[in-house]
């Protein structure tokens, strides 16, 4: 399929958010096979080859207009992916989407995701026409929901036993952020 729209490259003070490319597959596999990363993440892979499905998905959602995922890289090493963040289930008619993210453990505790999500969210609200962004988080994933709250997301409620994972039903906390809420904090 020919490229019809340019992929937006975003910059923070310390990081670059860029298109995920084929050369990133080993880093994606490293993250999405690490038990610490996938403990609360909905996707995991057992082999490098099986990770191709995730690589295809990143491209498919972008081309279909149902999502956009950025590779997170240090500005000093833009060729080395250290995590991802983005949107999926983008309902363009309703101007809403769900967000997600993951980061390699060597970079945890350095406010990487906070810095990158802040810029990503601003771009989505200012340039992609998004009105509402939501995030679904397991209640035990305390660092992620604390981060969302710090970024201004509000807890809407808990979806009780809405997913089946590791042989049991789990709850998900539903957070949302509206464009006007985010932009009023930025001004």
- CATH at 122: 3.40.630.30
Please check whether residue 113 lies inside any domain of the structure: yes
Please check whether residue 2 lies inside any domain of the structure: no
Measured from the Cβ of residue 20, the count of other Cβ atoms closer than 10 Å reads 23
Name the DSSP class of 48.
T
In 3D space, the residue among 46, 179, 82 whose CA is nearest the CA of residue 122 turns out to be 179
Please check whether residue 85 lies inside any domain of the structure: yes
Q: Which two tokens stand for residue 181?
A: 């809420």
Residues 33-53, mean pLDDT to the nearest whole number: 95
Residue 164's domain comprises: 10-186
Please check whether residue 63 lies inside any domain of the structure: yes
Please check whether residue 1 lies inside any domain of the structure: no
- Residue 3 reports pLDDT greater than 60: no
Domain count, the chain: 1
Please check whether residue 44 lies inside any domain of the structure: yes
3-state secondary structure (DSSP) of residue 163: strand
Residues 6+ apart with CB under 8 A from 138: 40, 170, 171, 172, 173
- Residue 2 reports pLDDT greater than 50: no
3-state secondary structure (DSSP) of residue 41: coil
Residues 22-47, mean pLDDT to the nearest whole number: 96
Q: Residue 186: enclosing H or E segment and its boundaries?
A: helix 179-186
- Residue 157 reports pLDDT greater than 60: yes
| pTM of model > 0.85 | yes
Please check whether residue 80 lies inside any domain of the structure: yes
Please check whether residue 104 lies inside any domain of the structure: yes
Q: Using one digit for the tens of pLDDT, what is the confidence trace for 119-137?
A: 999 999 999 999 999 999 9
Sign of the torsion formed by the C-alpha atoms of 73, 79, 81 and 87: positive
């Amino acid at each position: 399929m020919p490229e019809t729209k340019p992929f937006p490259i975003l910059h923070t003070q310390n990081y670059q958010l860029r298109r995920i490319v084929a050369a990133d597959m080993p880093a994606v596999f490293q993250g999405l096979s690490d038990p610490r990363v996938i403990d609360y993440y909905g996707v995991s892979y057992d082999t490098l080859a099986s990770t191709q499905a995730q690589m295809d998905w990143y491209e498919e959602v972008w081309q279909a207009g149902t999502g956009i995922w950025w590779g997170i890289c240090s500005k000093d090493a833009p060729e080395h992916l250290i995590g991802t963040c983005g949107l999926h289930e983008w309902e363009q008619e309703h101007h809403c989407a769900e967000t997600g993210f993951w980061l390699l453990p060597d970079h945890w505790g350095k406010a990487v995701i906070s810095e990158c999500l802040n810029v990503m969210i601003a771009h989505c609200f200012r340039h992609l026409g998004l009105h509402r962004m939501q995030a679904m988080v397991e209640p035990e994933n305390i660092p992620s929901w604390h981060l969302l709250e710090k970024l201004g997301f509000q807890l809407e409620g808990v979806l009780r036993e809405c997913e089946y994972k590791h042989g049991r039903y789990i709850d998900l906390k539903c957070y949302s952020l509206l464009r006007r809420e985010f932009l009023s904090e930025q001004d």
